[in-house]
Structure 1
Amino acid sequence: MTSSTADHPQMPVEDFEELARSAPETVTLEFINGKKLEVKPGPDGDHGAIIMWLLECCMQQRPDLRLYPEQGLKAETYRKGRARPDGSLAPKNHFVGQGEWADPDGVLMTVEVTSHDADTDPRDRDEKRDGYAAAGIPVYLLIDRDTCTVTVYSEPRNGKYPVRVSHPYGTAVEIPGPVGITLKTEELKDYAR
């Protein structure tokens, strides 16, 4: 039995898109590294509060941008993956007319907030990070609730983010250009469990 990879996917991306369209609204599917990933439905309240906190931070410092929750993106090399980041930072109205799976060109930053499930490690810390790097998204922000850290990945090259800077909750986190904002993360301590 062969394993699924980006070179030998479980199914063609078009079949995945059809499967995702027909999935119930309570289930979100992603296609990373050639395999279908089921994302747990209904993030908990702390997860939602973190996304709202980040949305407010972004709009206060960059009113020209919007943090779009759960916008489907064509990720990975040659846009063969399909991911739904917890947030995609892009110019206002950037995704208008693009449909369910948008091209990542013009997205300045993707965001993932870890969930407390077994798939978080490979999904958020590895697979999605590498997919966003391969798509050329300039910044990947990982808010890791297991380690109470905020990690900024940047300067994508050859499908990887060579620059990685982690900060504990409570510190000021500089998000490099083209985003160019500072996150004061003291509030994240309120959502640590």
Structure 2
Amino acid sequence: MTVTAERTSSQLSVDVFERIAEFAAREDETVRFEFIDGRIEVKKVTNGSHGEIAMWLVFQCKHARPDLTLNTTGQGLKVETYRNGRARPDAVLAPVGHFSGQGDWAEPDGVLMVVEIASYDSDAHRRDRIQKPLAYGEAGIPVYLLIDRDRSRVVVHSEPGARVGYHHTYVAELGEKVTLPAPVGFELDTEDLKGYMD
């Protein structure tokens, strides 16, 4: 479900959005709100396989880079370099302790990678494959990893740039080894992900 804010001089402000999102989180724990490209996006809470993928990735990241933490608690990010926005990636990779004291909506500075685990809903294509790469790249986040369950593949976006999102995109079929470029700097063997695509 998507609610569109009118693109006029009275467009929904980020402050108003944050109050709406905070209220909604208290009232209904089955959805999360984001504000990207002038739209309030409603993300459904994930299923079991989605959670298993996130935990698999936590273990991979911690094993390869113990100096980093993959936050899967719904940490919000301010992705407003080009458009005012707020996003809640499925996971955010940053140095240990990076988000301490930053609140619900943290600045993207210092974030090394964001992760989205594409769901099987009707908005996944627009949200995860079009809007998110643009928003994350324009915010200067070095790597955007999309685990695309619908297409059984992994997409690595890197080299962020203003007004383009990312300059480089690498697509791998599940089962391949994927190198996450600097500053992340380690390899993922995606063979195990085949068991979580339902």
Q: Aligning the two structures, in what range does the TM-score lie when normalised by the shorter sequence?
A: over 0.9
SS of match in other structure, 1:155? strand
RMSD of aligned alpha carbons = 1.7
Q: Which residue of 2 aligns with 1:73?
A: 77
CA distance in 1, matches of 2:37, 2:177: 33
Q: Which amino acid aligns with 1:56?
A: F
Match of 2:173 among 164, 168, 171: 168
- After superposition, give the CA deviation of every residue in 1:107-153 in whole Å (9 maximum; x if it has no partner): 00000000110010001111111110110000000000011100000
Question: In the alignment, is the contact (CA less than 8 A) between 2:82 and 2:162 conserved in 1?
Answer: no
Q: 1:79 to 1:181 in 2, by over 3 A?
A: farther
Q: How does 1:27-38 map to 2 (within 5 A)?
A: 27-38=31-42
Q: Which residue of 1 aligns with 2:120?
A: 116
Count of aligned pairs: 190
- After superposition, give the CA deviation of every residue in 1:49-94 in whole Å (9 maximum; x if it has no partner): 0000101000000000000111100013257200000000000010
Deviation of the 1:4 alpha carbon:
4.8
Higher strand share: 2
Q: Which residue of 1 aligns with 2:89?
A: 85
Q: How does 1:37-48 map to 2 (within 5 A)?
A: 37-41=41-45, 43-48=46-51
CA distance in 1, matches of 2:174, 2:158: 19
CA distance in 2, matches of 1:56, 1:118: 30
Q: 1:148 to 1:16 in 2, by over 3 A?
A: same
Structure 1 alignment gaps of length 5 or more: none
SS of match in other structure, 1:90? strand
SS of match in other structure, 2:161? coil
Normalising by structure 1, report the TM-score.
0.93
Q: Which residue of 2 aligns with 1:17?
A: 18
Match of 1:188 among 154, 173, 193: 193
Q: How does 1:54-69 map to 2 (within 5 A)?
A: 54-69=57-72
CA distance in 2, matches of 1:116, 1:131: 21
Deviation of the 1:105 alpha carbon:
0.2
Structure 2 alignment gaps of length 5 or more: none
Question: In the alignment, is the contact (CA less than 8 A) between 2:153 and 2:171 conserved in 1?
Answer: yes
Q: Which amino acid aligns with 2:188?
A: L
2:158 is aligned with 1:157: no
Question: In the alignment, is the contact (CA less than 8 A) between 2:6 and 2:12 conserved in 1?
Answer: no
SS of match in other structure, 1:48? helix
Range 4-13 or range 160-169, more displaced: 4-13
Deviation of the 1:192 alpha carbon:
2.1
CA distance in 2, matches of 1:25, 1:98: 23
Identity of aligned residues (%): 50
Deviation of the 1:46 alpha carbon:
0.6
